[in-house]
Amino acid sequence: MLPIAHFDAALIARGLPLLLLLVAVWIGLGLIGLLRPHSVRFVARVVFPLGAITCFALGAVAAHFLVSSHAPEVMTLPLGLPDLPFHARLDPLAAFFLLLLGLAGAGISTFAVGYFRSGQGTAPGLHCLQYHVFLASMALVILADDAYFFMVAWETMALSSYFLVTSQHRIPEIRRAGFLYLLMAHIGALCILLSFGVLQGGRWQFTFDAMRGALLTPFWASAAFLLALIGFGAKAGLVPLHAWLPEAHPAAPSPVSALMSGLMLKTAIYGMLRITFDLLHIRYWWWGVLVLGVGLFSALFGAIFAAVQTDMKRLLAYSSIENIGIIFTGIGLAILFAACGLPLFAALALTAALIHSLNHAFFKSLLFLATGSVLHATNQRSLGKLGGLIRRMPWVATLALIGTLAIAGLPPLNGFVSEWLLLQSFLFTPQIPHAFLNMLIPLCAALLALTVALAAYVMVKFYGVIFLGQHREPSLVHAHDADWMERLGLAWLALGCIAIGVMPQLALRVAGAVTGALLGQAVNLSSPFWWIAPIASKQASYSGLILLTGIVGVVGITFVMVRALAHGRIRRTASWDCGYPWQTSRMQDTAEGFGQPIRHMFGPFFRMERELPAPTDTTPHYRIHIEDRLWRALYLPIARYVQRLADWIGLLQGGRLAIYLLYSFLTLIALLVFVR
Amino acid sequence: MSALTMVRQFGEVLLAIAIAPLFAGWIAQCRAWLQNRSAPPLTQPYRMLRKLFHKDVALATDASPLFRMTPYILFGTMVLAAAIIPSVATDLPFARVADAIALIGLFATARVFLSLAAMDIGTAFGSMGARRDMMIGFLAEPALLMVLFNAFLLSGSTALPSVVEASTAHPFLIDPSLVFAAVAFLMVLLAENARIPIDNPATHLELTMIHEAMVLEYSARHLALVEWSSDLKLFNYACIGFALFLPWGIAARGADGALTLGVAVIALLIKLIVAGAALALIESLSAKLRIFRAPEYLATAFLLAVLGLLVHLLLGA
């Protein structure tokens, strides 16, 4: 008995081998799926549940590491090239993102059990392989401890997700979205590769440990940082590198959208934090200002564009840009504070960014999966053809409501906690010892508040148009609720949203381990678990649990009092609508209508094409097309330039043997001259 | 946490619930006087509530549970907010549950629920009201945050009890930035509580409605709770304003005997009477703005708050 217990303890004490084992299990599960590639039943009912359990185990091991030791663990793997083995390392930063990956991934995989049906493009077995390789590569990105291993895992992640996105490759738009995604992923990967090239500092050692020791001049440090910002920004969807995101996320099947939006974007956040706070030994204040500016602009841009979308998955994709922007705002603020020698406030801002990453993994996955259920039940993605689903799909509607309130940043759910922490850290920006920054940065807090409030607007639109009101199409009457495995997946994610919301101190402690490792400082972690007071209780405090209990308590008392003192009689009648009896479902606000004030107010952001019917039209037709200005201002010119360059280079291709021989001859001569 | 503080806490909440309709009634009365109409009695809001509670609810056939729950949730959030805001005393067990930023969040929760409920039946006016109300909400939030930033710079805290205690410690030190912030806050208060110049609480013209359009489908006890929570919201906003800008009279920690509490209650009543009359005067003097002028109005509020911030930073530096 005793030796076994001893063995278990030893295994748990070493988290890294266990995590690598779990990653191997994922790859194994993916391969098992190939045994019966066309059996939905086998893949969905056997392999995916095992994958979900593996996810959960991964999250649990990471959580155990975070709350128990935090001492980094390293391993050299017998893989890779000769003389260039793979290194793996588990430290609090990695463990935090593995925790996120495991816990949110468990919900997504559980949902996927019920979601995958036959006849959806790629064969289920192949899909299962791609799915699990995708999960495994994300975990390896986080565990990698040298640039080589990191890039291999990063590319595997990009490719496996490319195949997942294009699983319905017979549709041309999806192929196009996939190509755009692949292109942007590789531009990003190239920048990251170059960044690592700068970081090794001329010593040609690509382990992260060597990079930590490399002493870079300010110029090269800044170059590495900027390359990393572009590279990881392209993956995370920072404006102006965001164009792939609203195309690729809606193209993928819903669990894959959830994985990409909820989890994959977080690997970019991880990479950014790893390079900025771990590998680079110095930070300059203007880096922080840059990240803050880009982050805030992305956040506002995402929120504004989300408000005018009419496709529910595109709306969520733009909302991801917004949330990534908020996370980068936190990171920028942390860099700024850290560079100005205010580590406690840097820890506060970084904590906010980390918790927002965790939150976003939960609520965005939840909402993407809910759109998947809606898609299955109705075959509609356009908001203009949905409506009233709360009556047909009460389970999905209730769970999606939790996600909606959470992403809208409302107390007592989780989205509020991170946004509150971020606003709290903005309050200390007047202490920055720079004459203009200390006046300008506080104003950024107002921009953040605007974004957060706009997000609430967007989410009211999202939920109201899909789930509330009247059916906009007669066929919606036949919509059915999600099956129980889908409900279980959704419920797990909703539970996460509630748990982080009412017990934020737990998330704060987990994030505290990370900030402790990166900045040597953590916010006040001594409060009880239902209470947060990041700096001091006198300064500001918040308790989600008491808030929730308070509201529930008052609601309960009011309900009982109303019934006791008055009565509970109800008469069901037709709706009132100011006495207008002929209302139809077409008279409700549409998605376009809900976006109208935003189009009106933020006009310069959009490129609009509108066809309005004339008053005399007998068959009025209204069409509006909204485009991103950056697409024409930035992407198309670059594409044209590349095209022209390719055409020029194409001139070399004469197609005659003599010309190619001439090239070889000239090259030879040139080399001879050069070598001599 | 002694039994006494709990008693004080419950007393404060009950006081808020009880006098919130009275405050709304007082404003209506002042407005009537200013507009040369014969004023309704002060107790009119209570009579209205009583009447509504005893009517049968006429509920649309396809109303979902969300629609029926929302009035209770609104009432719950507003009562909780009243428990958190130090209107009479600062030493309250609930006061540390949420700071001023979290309070704004709590109000936002109520607004989102009401907007969702307005969209639930699927009528044209309901969703229009929801959209407009959310729009006002996101425009007001930056201004409100800048006001709180001002308060934070003066007191080093966003927790309302600490703000009150910091300013009662130096009762005659009025910072010029506070004047700007106070005007900005007043403008936001008018917008957030659906009052002129953004919305008209007494309107009967559906196309211009914001708040009223959202509650058109409510009846009887649901409507009563919605109205009561609107009154409470106005009361709460007024009390936040008092805590930030006119904290005189609020019983501070350690000095809250029965006498001070009595003085605090009287001070609160006097402040409410004056504030109600002032609100009625503003509403009588101004006209309702077109809905697309609302951004300009709230941008003005925002700029005033920013001005306050800059005044503080420049003068303080």
Residue in B15, B76, B234 with CA at minimum distance from that of residue A547: B76
| Cross-chain Cβ contact A470/B152 below 8 Å | no
Q: What residues of chain A lie within 8 A of the CB of B146, using their CB?
A: 443, 445-446
Residue in chain B closest to A553 (alpha carbons) equals B76
Give me the mean pLDDT over the A23-37 stretch: 90
pLDDT band per the 50, 70, 90 thresholds, residue A429:
confident
- CA atoms of A31 and A26, how far apart (whole Å): 9
- CA atoms of A3 and A70, how far apart (whole Å): 26
Q: Are residues A551 and A642 in the same domain?
A: no
Give me the mean pLDDT over the A51-55 stretch: 93
The single residue listed with the structure tokens 């303080």 is: B316
**Phi-psi group of A74: left, alpha or beta (phi > 0 → left; psi -120 to 50 → alpha; rest → beta):** beta
In this structure, are residues A421 and A352 in contact, taking their beta carbons and an 8 Å threshold?
A: yes
Partner residue opposite B99 with nearest CB, options A457, A541, A593: A541
Whether residue A8 has pLDDT greater than 50: no
Q: Tell me whether residue A401 is in a domain.
A: yes
- CA atoms of A182 and A195, how far apart (whole Å): 20
- CA atoms of B238 and B275, how far apart (whole Å): 8
| Cross-chain Cβ contact A424/B60 below 8 Å | no
On the question of a cis peptide bond just before residue A412, with omega within 30 degrees of 0, the verdict is: yes
* Interface probe with A: pick from B6, B51, B62, most Cβ of A within 10 Å: B62
What's at A3, amino acid-wise?
P
And the tokens for A264? Answer: 């994959």
The DSSP annotation for A422-464 comes to HHHHHTTGGGSSSTTHHHHHHHHHHHHHHHHHHHHHHHHHHHH
Question: Length of chain B, please?
Answer: 317
Query: pLDDT digits over A588-616, tens only?
Result: 888 888 888 888 888 888 888 888 888 88
Residue in chain B closest to A446 (alpha carbons) equals B142
Count the alpha carbons within 13 Å of A49 in the hemisphere toward its beta carbon. Answer: 10
Spatial CB neighbours of B279, under 8 Å, sequence gap ≥ 6? B27, B30, B190, B195
Partner residue opposite B157 with nearest CB, options A387, A539, A570: A539
Q: What are phi and psi of A302, to 5 degrees?
A: -60, -45
Give me the mean pLDDT over the A372-390 stretch: 88
Give me the mean pLDDT over the A464-481 stretch: 87
Partner residue opposite B61 with nearest CB, options A456, A461, A574: A574
- The pLDDT value recorded for residue A9 is 47
And the tokens for A199? Answer: 């970081």
Spatial CB neighbours of B137, under 8 Å, sequence gap ≥ 6? A453, A456, A457, B108, B111, B192
- Range list of H helices, A40-84: 40-42, 48-67
Q: What residues of chain B lie within 8 A of the CB of A501, using their CB?
A: none
Whether residue A642 has pLDDT greater than 50: yes
And the tokens for B110? Answer: 């109520």
And the tokens for A358? Answer: 């965790």
Q: Tell me whether residue A39 is in a domain.
A: no
Q: What residues of chain B lie within 8 A of the CB of A593, using their CB?
A: 127, 131
- The pLDDT value recorded for residue B90 is 84
Q: What residues of chain A lie within 8 A of the CB of B217, using their CB?
A: 575-577
- Range list of H helices, A144-217: 147-165, 172-199, 208-213
In this structure, are residues A403 and A373 in contact, taking their beta carbons and an 8 Å threshold?
A: no
- CA atoms of A70 and A200, how far apart (whole Å): 26
- The pLDDT value recorded for residue A1 is 35
- CA atoms of A612 and A622, how far apart (whole Å): 5
- CA atoms of B61 and A128, how far apart (whole Å): 45
| Cross-chain Cβ contact A570/B59 below 8 Å | yes
Query: pLDDT digits over B134-149, tens only?
Result: 999 989 989 998 999 8
Q: Are residues A635 and A550 in the same domain?
A: no
Q: What residues of chain B lie within 8 A of the CB of A552, using their CB?
A: 76
Q: Are residues A464 and A546 in the same domain?
A: yes
Instruction: Give the Cα-Cα-Cα angle A404, A409, A410 (nearest 5 degrees).
Output: 85
Q: What residues of chain A lie within 8 A of the CB of B96, using their CB?
A: 537, 541, 543
Q: Tell me whether residue A459 is in a domain.
A: yes
Q: What residues of chain B lie within 8 A of the CB of A567, using their CB?
A: 54, 56
| Cross-chain Cβ contact B57/A447 below 8 Å | no
Q: CB-based burial of residue A150 (10 Å sphere; 0-12 exposed, 13-18 middle, 19+ buried)?
A: buried
- ipTM value for the complex: 0.94
| Cross-chain Cβ contact B225/A464 below 8 Å | no
3-state DSSP of A481-506: CCCHHHHHHHHHHHHHHHHHHHCHHH
Q: Are residues A438 and A529 in the same domain?
A: yes
* Interface probe with B: pick from A308, A577, A582, A585, most Cβ of B within 10 Å: A577
Q: Tell me whether residue A176 is in a domain.
A: no
How many domains are there within chain A? 2
pLDDT band per the 50, 70, 90 thresholds, residue A520:
confident
Instruction: Give the Cα-Cα-Cα angle A248, A246, A452 (nearest 5 degrees).
Output: 140
| Cross-chain Cβ contact B216/A578 below 8 Å | yes
| Cross-chain Cβ contact B106/A411 below 8 Å | yes
Residue in chain A closest to B132 (alpha carbons) equals A597
Q: Are residues A541 and A664 in the same domain?
A: no
Question: Length of chain A, please?
Answer: 676
* Interface probe with B: pick from A386, A392, A543, A575, most Cβ of B within 10 Å: A575
And the tokens for A232? Answer: 């990881």
- CA atoms of A668 and A672, how far apart (whole Å): 6
Q: Tell me whether residue A330 is in a domain.
A: yes
Between chain A and chain B, how many beta carbons pairs sit less than 8 Å apart? 249
Q: CB-based burial of residue A635 (10 Å sphere; 0-12 exposed, 13-18 middle, 19+ buried)?
A: middle
Whether residue A431 has pLDDT greater than 90: no
The DSSP annotation for B116-184 comes to HHHHHS--HHHHHHHHHHHHHHHHHHHHHHHHHHHHHHHHS--SHHHHHHHHHHSTT---HHHHHHHHH
In this structure, are residues A220 and A279 in contact, taking their beta carbons and an 8 Å threshold?
A: no
Q: What are phi and psi of A154, to 5 degrees?
A: -60, -45
| Cross-chain Cβ contact A469/B149 below 8 Å | no
| Cross-chain Cβ contact A575/B134 below 8 Å | no
Q: What residues of chain A lie within 8 A of the CB of B130, using their CB?
A: 460, 464, 589
- CA atoms of B119 and A584, how far apart (whole Å): 14
| Cross-chain Cβ contact B131/A594 below 8 Å | yes
| Cross-chain Cβ contact A566/B216 below 8 Å | no
pLDDT band per the 50, 70, 90 thresholds, residue A159:
very high
And the tokens for A47? Answer: 């392999």
Report the Cα–Cα distance between both ends of chain A, in Å, rounded. Answer: 76
Whether residue A422 has pLDDT greater than 90: yes
* Interface probe with B: pick from A459, A549, A570, A586, most Cβ of B within 10 Å: A570
- CA atoms of A337 and A335, how far apart (whole Å): 6
Residue in A136, A155, A135, A139 with CA at minimum distance from that of residue A147: A155
| Cross-chain Cβ contact B135/A420 below 8 Å | no
Spatial CB neighbours of A560, under 8 Å, sequence gap ≥ 6? none
Domain with B128 in it: 3-316
- CA atoms of B227 and B230, how far apart (whole Å): 5
Q: What residues of chain B lie within 8 A of the CB of A542, using their CB?
A: 97-99, 102
- CA atoms of A595 and A247, how far apart (whole Å): 20
Query: pLDDT digits over A643-668, tens only?
Result: 999 999 988 887 788 888 999 999 99
pLDDT band per the 50, 70, 90 thresholds, residue A120:
low
In this structure, are residues A536 and A397 in contact, taking their beta carbons and an 8 Å threshold?
A: no
Q: Tell me whether residue A372 is in a domain.
A: yes
| Cross-chain Cβ contact A562/B64 below 8 Å | no
Beta bridge partners of A606: A628
Whether residue A568 has pLDDT greater than 60: yes
**Structural domain ending residue among the three candidates A561, A577, A599:** A561
Lowest-confidence segment of A118-127, A231-240, A381-390, B206-215 by average pLDDT: A118-127
| Cross-chain Cβ contact A573/B99 below 8 Å | no
CA distance B261 to chain A (A): 23
In this structure, are residues A519 and A425 in contact, taking their beta carbons and an 8 Å threshold?
A: no
Residue in A453, A552, A540, A548 with CA at minimum distance from that of residue A499: A548
Please report, rounded to a whole number, the percentage of residues in chain A having pLDDT higher than 90: 52
Q: What are phi and psi of A54, to 5 degrees?
A: -60, -40
Partner residue opposite B138 with nearest CB, options A424, A454, A559: A454
**Structural domain ending residue among the three candidates A533, A561, A589:** A561
Please report, rounded to a whole number, the percentage of residues in chain A having pLDDT higher than 70: 97
Count the alpha carbons within 13 Å of A164 in the hemisphere toward its beta carbon. Answer: 29
Kindly report the number of other CB atoms within 10 A of residue A12's CB atom: 14
**Mean of all residue pLDDT scores within chain A:** 89
Query: pLDDT digits over B74-104, tens only?
Result: 999 999 999 999 988 888 888 888 889 999 9
Residue in A254, A438, A241 with CA at minimum distance from that of residue A340: A438
pLDDT band per the 50, 70, 90 thresholds, residue A10:
very low
Beta bridge partners of A10: none
Query: pLDDT digits over A161-186, tens only?
Result: 999 998 888 888 899 999 999 999 99
Domain with A476 in it: 285-561
Element (H, E) at A88: strand A84-90
Give me the mean pLDDT over the A418-427 stretch: 92
- CA atoms of A613 and B1, how far apart (whole Å): 67
**Structural domain ending residue among the three candidates A529, A561, A593:** A561
Exposure string of A655-665, with b = 16+ CB inside 10 Å and e = fewer, is eeeeeeeeeee
Residue in chain A closest to B134 (alpha carbons) equals A457
Collapsed DSSP state (helix, strand, coil) of residue A401: helix
What's at B204, amino acid-wise?
H
Give me the mean pLDDT over the A306-317 stretch: 92
And the tokens for B66? Answer: 């969300």
Query: Strand runs (DSSP E) across chain B, as ranges?
Result: 57-60
Instruction: Please report how the helices A484-502 and A504-519 are oriented relative to each other, as an axis angle in degrees rounded to 10.
Output: 70
How many domains are there within chain B? 1
Q: Per residue of chain B (317 residues), give pLDDT as tens.
A: 577 788 888 989 999 999 999 999 999 999 999 989 998 898 899 999 999 999 999 998 888 999 999 999 999 999 999 999 998 888 888 888 888 999 999 999 999 999 999 999 888 888 889 999 999 998 998 999 899 988 888 888 888 888 888 887 776 567 788 889 999 999 999 999 988 888 887 777 878 888 888 888 898 899 999 999 999 999 999 999 999 888 888 877 777 678 888 888 999 999 999 999 999 999 899 888 888 888 999 999 999 999 988 888 887 65
Give me the mean pLDDT over the A484-511 stretch: 92
Spatial CB neighbours of A218, under 8 Å, sequence gap ≥ 6? A282, A284
Partner residue opposite B57 with nearest CB, options A460, A569, A597: A569
Instruction: Please report how the helices A484-502 and A343-378 are oriented relative to each other, as an axis angle in degrees rounded to 10.
Output: 160
